Structure 1
Amino acid sequence: MTGRTEIRVREIRRRTRRYRRRRENRELFSLTAFGLFLLAGISVLLHGVQAPGVSAVAEGYGSVLLREDAGAYIVVGIAAFVVGVTLTVICIRLKKKKTNRTEDAGESEEQT
């Protein structure tokens, strides 16, 4: 390749990486916002359903749990779900960083 072609190819790769990063950040932001809305919606629903001394769920074990102050169990369950999602996102990001490093190393080897 000529010098100008190499410069153009490098610029195209640089812009492609930048656009991919922007898209990934947008997707991550959207997923985070949807997760927060979901969490807020669940908390509003649980707050409306939970009434002391009144069985809110007809003929089910859930009514016994809600009547017996099992709100802590619900909070722990939601917190465990959020922690699981967070760890999954972190693992995916670390994996992508690792593959990006190997790709960058491969690109530098191609240039030499």
Structure 2
Amino acid sequence: MYNTARRVALVKQRVRENTRRRQRCGIYGLSAACMLLFAVLMQAADALIAPGQAAAWGSFGTMLLREDAGGYVLVAVVSFAAAVVITALCFRLRIREKQKKGAANKHARHEKEEKSQ
């Protein structure tokens, strides 16, 4: 039989493992969403950008000087907007996790104080 300290240590270890597993699943999900977004944007770029060669080879900035460069601009704006949204969601997720961790630490401290009294 385990004593109380050993049981508490085992529970904490399981909690850490579950947290890591949940974080790993979140990372895999975000990676899959990013790859899907990349594929969609590549398809959108093929559909929106008219075929043709730029006047200056190898200089991507000169492509924007062409008449039919609207597709490039649209894909760039959509990509930037998607990156901003993903970044904002990641920040909110991090803040929420810190709040949960802070609440758990506060609860643990409160239990310690009760036991010491």
| Common fold by TM > 0.5 | yes
- What CA distance in whole angstroms lies between the structure 1 residues aligned with 2:83 and 2:30? 11
1:8-59 deviations in Å (ceiling 9; x for gaps): 3421331133122212221222122212311321232123222248xxxxxx
- What CA distance in whole angstroms lies between the structure 2 residues aligned with 1:77 and 1:36? 13
- What CA distance in whole angstroms lies between the structure 1 residues aligned with 2:34 and 2:89? 16
TM-aligned CA deviation for residue 68 of structure 1:
3.5
- What CA distance in whole angstroms lies between the structure 1 residues aligned with 2:21 and 2:110? 27
Larger RCO: Structure 1 or Structure 2 (Cα < 8 Å, ≥ 6 residues apart)?
2
TM-aligned CA deviation for residue 74 of structure 1:
2.5
1:22 paired with 2:16, answer no
1:86 paired with 2:87, answer yes
TM-aligned CA deviation for residue 4 of structure 1:
2.1
Partner of 1:60: none
- What CA distance in whole angstroms lies between the structure 1 residues aligned with 2:91 and 2:106? 23
- What CA distance in whole angstroms lies between the structure 1 residues aligned with 2:80 and 2:102? 33
1:103 paired with 2:101, answer no
Which structure 2 residues correspond to residues 21-60 of structure 1 after superposition, within 5 A? 21-49=19-47, 50-52=49-51
Partner of 1:69: 69
Partner of 2:61: none
Letter in 2 for 1:93: R
TM-score (ref. length: structure 2): 0.66
- What CA distance in whole angstroms lies between the structure 1 residues aligned with 2:88 and 2:24? 19
Question: Aligned residues, how many?
Answer: 96
- What CA distance in whole angstroms lies between the structure 1 residues aligned with 2:28 and 2:91? 16
- What CA distance in whole angstroms lies between the structure 1 residues aligned with 2:34 and 2:86? 12
Letter in 2 for 1:68: D
TM-score (ref. length: structure 1): 0.68
Letter in 2 for 1:45: Q
Q: What is the CA RMSD across the aligned residues, in angstroms?
A: 2.4
> Sequence identity of aligned pairs in percent?
19
